[in-house]
Each structure stands twice: as structure tokens, then as C-alpha cells.
Structure 1
Amino acid sequence: MDNGAGVPGPSSKRTKESSRPMPAWSLALLSALALAIWLATGTVAHAPPPPAEPANAALEVARTRVRATLSRVTRVAREIRIHGALEPRRRVTLRAETTGVIEQLLKERGARVKADEPIALLAEEDRQARLAAAERDVEHQQAELAAARQMHARGLQAETQRLAAEAALAEARAERAMLAAELARIRITAPFAGVLTARPVERGSLVVRGDVIAELVDDSTLLAVAQAPQQLVANITIGQTVQVHLLDGRTVTGRVRYVGRVADEVTRSFRIEAEVPNPDGHLPGGLSADLVVTAGEVEAHALGPSQLTLDDAGRLGIKAVDGADRVVFHPVQMVQARADRIWVSGLPMELRLITEGQSLVAPGEAVAVVGDPVDVSTEAAGGQH
């Protein structure tokens, strides 16, 4: 049915709506989106790929750099070093053997005396007079005994009277000997040559039996004394030569004269004594000393003192690098020591010893080893003797 020419139909209406222009903001949005897509695809398509980093670059940066040297064992003399001190071979305290007053002091403290030389004298008092009386009594009893024997021989006296005269003479002689010994006790003498280290009495002091008069030390020979650990004492024998190193840098030679056979109850160590000649008296007693005894040969590595370290358990040792460049701690035992070189045992025949940077790394840590390994066994061998 015809709707009439002047009335528009539905299709005509849709055509007009579709031909209507888009809003300005829609066009701007579409343009921006298209530009972004083009830039993104263009950049991805034409940008060069980033340079590939080495797979282990991060690992190398993280590893601590250390320097290591190749160390091999050498044969060296095994030294047993024990800390000790010098002591006088003989020391005696001189005491009064009788009661009396100090009349003379013949030696001062620090004086050097000879054997049997007098040091002090007590007042004689009546000792000499009593000894003289005892001498006369002995003479009298001798005369009495001679007469008794004559009378007995003639039958004028009984046997008992002769025996009584003999007993009286023996008693008089005993009294004389006792008084002579008492007189000798007022003279205090040195039993051996040495130095007076103490003299606590003065002239006029009253002393009784047992009081200290002086102390005498024989310093012609000193004893280097130390306590050897039980794991080392079997290597020390009487007659062995000992090098005694003093703190002032001097070194003297001695010889072992005594090795204890019973351990100390507290330390479980054994007393060692070595005689050290001191004819000029230039070594005083009491000096600290290190006793060094050589006990055969052993295979050892040479180190610098700074290369020794302690692990968490307090063990002495060194740090080395294994085949995978990881740090390994090796406990060691001291074999020989010098001022600039130390020899230790307990290590493999050959190893890469960390010489620089050992304090910066821990056992098990992977490290970067720099420098060429140098064999240090040859240059160290020259300082072992």
C-alpha cells in the first residue's frame, strides 16, 4: 500500500542516520590507538637484541678474590718446643743450729762466696770456757783410768772399779765432743760456692735454733725446667741436646738430665730438666725460656706466620683451595718454627695454599683464585736447618 510520496519510509530514515558524521573525540581516540600499535610493532621488529652476558658473570662478580701458591712437603727436623724457665741447680736456706746473738756478718746479700767460707758468726759467750773445762776433765779421767788399771793389775782393786774409770773417761770425751760441736755451730759457713740471695738478720739479732740466717744459690749450673705434655714426653730422653731460647734473644745449649716418670695430677704433664752451664754467672735464675728438643725428621709444609689461622673450634690450621676453587680448612701441628718461617704437618703432599685473602673467606666458600700458582717448597727448604 502506498503511503504517499511525501511521507518518508523506515529505510530512508536509517540511511540518513548512518551518514551522520562521527564526533571529534572518537576520531582522536582511534588515531592515538593506531599510532601506539604502530610504534610498538615497529620497535619490536627493528630493535637489536641485547648482548648476551656470560652464564658465570654474576658468579665471578660474587666470588671473593684470593691468591694461592702451590705448596709441597719437605723433610725437616721435628722440634718439640716447651715453655719453661731457668732455675738454680741448687738452693739452700742456711739456718741457725744453736741459740745466740749475731756478732759478725761477713757477707752482704748478693755477695759471691766460696765453699766453706764463713757468712756470719754468733757470740761465743761461755762455749770456749766450757770446752776447756771438758778438755781438763778428759785428761783427769785418763789419769784415773791409768791408775785403776795399775791397781787392778796388782790385785788391789776390783774389776768393777776399772770399768767405772773407763766409763767416766768415755763420758768426759763425749762431753768434750758435744761442746766442741756447739762451739763450731756459732760459725755459719757456705756449704758450696754460690751467691747469697737473702740475709734477713742483722748484727745483734738474737737467733734460736732453726732461724733463717741466709739463702744461698748455686748458679754455676742452671736448670731449664718445663712441663712436657703427655703426647710429647715419649720423644724426650736423658742426654738429649736442648736449645734454650731466652726472651732477650739469647740462645744457650743444655742437656736433658731428668724426665719425670709420674704425671702432674692437675696438668697431666711431665717435668723436664736440662742442665745449662753458667760458669760466669751471666744467666740469672727465673728467666722465662723455651726448650727446643729435636726429635727425628718429619714431612712438613713451610708457611709464613701470617698464614696460620684458627677455625671456629679453636684449632690451629691453614686455608687452601681445592680443585673446585672452594676453601678448605686443614688443621695442622707445629713441627719447627723460625722468625719468618713455620713448618707444619698434617697436610696433603701437595695443595694450593691461600696466601692472600684467607681472612676474608670461610671453609666451603667458592672463590676466584688470581695469579699463577708458585711452588714455594723449594725456596722454603733453604731455611729449615
Structure 2
Amino acid sequence: MRIALVTSLVALAVGFVTTGCSKKAVGAPGEIFAVQVIAVEAKRQPVTESLSLIGSLAANEMVEIKAETEGIVQDILFGEGQRVEKGQLLIRLDETKIATALAEAESNFKLSQANFERAKQLFKGQLISQQDYDQVTASFDVNQATVDRRKRELKDTRICAPFAGIMGARIISPGQVIARDAVLSWLVDLDPIKVELNVPERFLSQVQVGQTLDLKVAAYPTNRFQGKVYFVAPSVDSNTRTTLVKAEIPNPNRELKPGMFANLDLTVNVRENSIVIPEAALSQLLDGNRAIVFAVDTNSTVQLRPVKLGLRLAGQVEIVGGLEAGEKVVVEGVQKIGPGAKVKLAPVEAAAPYLKPS
């Protein structure tokens, strides 16, 4: 690989020298001609390394609102799409039959309680048998359980929100007879919202709880939403060779909806002091991660410089070897210069198109 690099540099240098000689033959003997070029200073700045993934949005919490007891719908106290608070009354069922049944159960319980107290005294005085006492006790227990059950049924005629959220469509009407466990509506908590993604196992070493991610959805193409990973599954799916990862996204305006498809950039590393130059400064690529740039020294002389490349960014490239921060590299006018050439730097304003907006 070193031999290949030297060969490339020699070939490149010879080409420039040949071009330079042909130009000198036309000009005046001994004349030093400075070519105007545009150069940009290599700067230190944070570089973010991320994985591009896809995911699906899911509600923070989502539950079916069901009837815990059968009955007739008396009042519907929520609007479709309305925000409700935890414990807020949503639906009230007609409690007439249950209230009557509760009153009957309480009456039977009082009678069985009196019988139980009497039987207890008689049993202590050995005036009744164990069998008679057990029958009275069993009747007391049954009536007590019936009262408890009727009280729960009465309470279940009032259906309340289990958590704060947004109500879905209602699928009942006042006066409708509903059965136990019938679905009446849905309740969804959208803030925060969750995103679920399946990360290929080859990337698992780079994913951990606490990492940030950027998210985009088709419904809002110009918006970027940010969130944080809170769960990485402890196992890999043997069929897909992926691991489930979940993140939370703040969603105060409730723009994001469950079921949406999302494109994600998951931040796996941030290098705070990377050296970055415009991609236009790369004069020649030697292989996948090496290139040639033209560096300008303090004497305005061009040097051929091999550099090692890191991440490719939007119009920028990270340099991980061969160049120091503060050095200038030519981004325009490369075709007019060669190693050792004298250059004149264009005004700073000319380099503006090559600078990353701050």
C-alpha cells in the first residue's frame, strides 16, 4: 500500500512539473508568477457519527376503554379527540338495577349477620351442633361476598380515565345496552411518543441507552424531532438478526402519531475537536480513506499533502491524519498549480461558498 501511495504521488508531481515547464518556456526567463487561488483554513469542530435507520412510532400509553359490567349507557361525558385527565369520568351506566340488587344484598347480609351473632352465642353454650353453626357461618360469608360484589358493580357503572391522554372515537350511543368487556372507546397518551426500531446486530456495539437521535416523518418533511434511547432489548431476534430499540420523543404539539413511519439518525459518537475541510479541497482520491490536498504554507507556496479521511459530511470531510488545524488548503484553482508553486490567496469573501454555515 505504501508503494502504491509513493507511485501515485510521483506520477502526480511529474505531471505538475511537466505542466510548469511548458508554461515557463512561454514566459519571461526567471519570472515568478503567483497564481490566484481560493483557500480555506482547516478548522476544528464537532463531528457527529450516526447510524441511519428506520422505525415506527408508537403511543406512550394506549388502552381500550371497556365496560367492567353490563348495563345501559346513560351519559357519555367526553368528546372524540378531547384531552382528559387521569380519573376523569368518561361514561356513566344506568345504575338502577344494580342499586336495587345492592339494597337487596345488604338486607340479606344484615339478616345473616344477626343469625350469625345468635348462632355464635348458642354454639358457645353448646346449644347447637357444629353443622348448624357452620351453615349459618357459610350463609353469612356468602351474603357478605354478595354485598361486596354488588358494590363493585355499582362502582363499575362509572367508567373513568386510567391516565391522562387523548380520547379516540366513541363506538357507543346513549341508551345502548352493552355487555361486560365491550370496547367503548380508546385512550392514547401522545406526549412523549415512542419510536421503535430494529437495529441490525452488527451495529449493536454502537447502540446504548442515553444516546440521542434525530427523526423525520413524511407528514412534516421540514421538521426534525429529537429524542433519546431508553431501552435496548437484551436479546437478538434469531429470525431477523435484529434487536428492538426504543426511544422517547417529546411531542407537546402532538404532531407525531402512532403508526407513522420514521427515518432516524442515531448518534453513536461525537468527536468534539475533529479537523474538517471542504470536500472540494480533495484534489485526488488515492483509495477509500486517503486523498491528496494542496496545502499553502506561510510563504504562499503550495505543498502536495497526502491526508487520511474520516467521516464524509454535507460538503465537508473529516481529516484524521496529514493536516493540522489552521493550515490552509486550496479549494479552487487546483488545475492551475503544482507542488512548489507560488500562489496568491483570493479575498476571504471568495471562500464563503465552501464554508459550512454556522
Residue identity matched to 1:290: L
1:133 and 2:104 correspond: yes
- The answer as to whether partners of 1:239 and 1:255 remain within 8 angstroms in 2 is yes
TM-aligned CA deviation for residue 135 of structure 1:
0.8
User: Equivalent residue for 2:85?
Assistant: 114
1:274 and 2:244 correspond: no
C-alpha distance in 1 between matches for 2:230 and 2:94: 43
Residue identity matched to 2:48: R
- The answer as to whether partners of 1:219 and 1:281 remain within 8 angstroms in 2 is no
- The answer as to whether partners of 2:231 and 2:247 remain within 8 angstroms in 1 is yes
User: Equivalent residue for 1:285?
Assistant: 257
Residue identity matched to 2:190: D
Secondary structure at the aligned position of 1:170 is classed as: helix
1:101 and 2:72 correspond: yes
TM-aligned CA deviation for residue 93 of structure 1:
1.1
1:182 and 2:156 correspond: no
Secondary structure at the aligned position of 2:60 is classed as: strand
Question: Which of 105, 129, 148 is the aligned partner of 2:119?
Answer: 148
Q: How does 1:120-269 map to 2 (within 5 A)?
A: 120-244=91-215, 247-264=220-237, 267-269=240-242
Secondary structure at the aligned position of 2:59 is classed as: strand
Question: Which of 261, 264, 271 is the aligned partner of 1:297?
Answer: 271
Deviation string, structure 1 residues 122-163 (Cα, Å, up to 9, x no partner): 222411111111111111111001111122233322233222
Secondary structure at the aligned position of 2:191 is classed as: strand
Residue identity matched to 1:160: Q
TM-aligned CA deviation for residue 202 of structure 1:
2.0
Equivalences, count: 286
Secondary structure at the aligned position of 1:232 is classed as: helix
User: Equivalent residue for 1:87?
Assistant: 58
Task: Label 1:319 to 1:114 Cα distance change in 2 as closer, same or farther (>3 A).
Answer: same
- The answer as to whether partners of 2:191 and 2:254 remain within 8 angstroms in 1 is no
Residue identity matched to 1:212: V
- The answer as to whether partners of 2:106 and 2:147 remain within 8 angstroms in 1 is yes
Task: Label 1:200 to 1:264 Cα distance change in 2 as closer, same or farther (>3 A).
Answer: farther
1:77 and 2:51 correspond: no
C-alpha distance in 1 between matches for 2:270 and 2:354: 17
Deviates more, 1:90-99 or 1:140-149: 90-99
Deviation string, structure 1 residues 271-291 (Cα, Å, up to 9, x no partner): 22122344x444432454534
C-alpha distance in 2 between matches for 1:214 and 1:284: 21
Task: Label 1:80 to 1:89 Cα distance change in 2 as closer, same or farther (>3 A).
Answer: same
C-alpha distance in 2 between matches for 1:382 and 1:264: 44
Deviates more, 1:215-224 or 1:187-196: 215-224
- The answer as to whether partners of 2:190 and 2:254 remain within 8 angstroms in 1 is no
C-alpha distance in 2 between matches for 1:212 and 1:259: 33
Q: TM-score, normalised by structure 1?
A: 0.59
Secondary structure at the aligned position of 1:137 is classed as: helix
- The answer as to whether partners of 1:194 and 1:217 remain within 8 angstroms in 2 is yes
Instruction: Provide structure 2 residue ranges, at least 5 long, that are not aligned to the other structure.
Output: 1-17, 20-36, 283-287, 295-308, 324-328, 346-350
Mark the structure with the bigger radius of gyration: 1
Task: Label 1:151 to 1:256 Cα distance change in 2 as closer, same or farther (>3 A).
Answer: same
C-alpha distance in 1 between matches for 2:203 and 2:277: 22
Task: Label 1:68 to 1:86 Cα distance change in 2 as closer, same or farther (>3 A).
Answer: farther
User: Equivalent residue for 2:6?
Assistant: none
TM-aligned CA deviation for residue 114 of structure 1:
1.0
Deviation string, structure 1 residues 247-298 (Cα, Å, up to 9, x no partner): 45444543321012334556533322122344x4444324545343241439
Q: TM-score, normalised by structure 2?
A: 0.63
CA-atom RMSD, angstroms?
4.5
C-alpha distance in 1 between matches for 2:54 and 2:127: 83
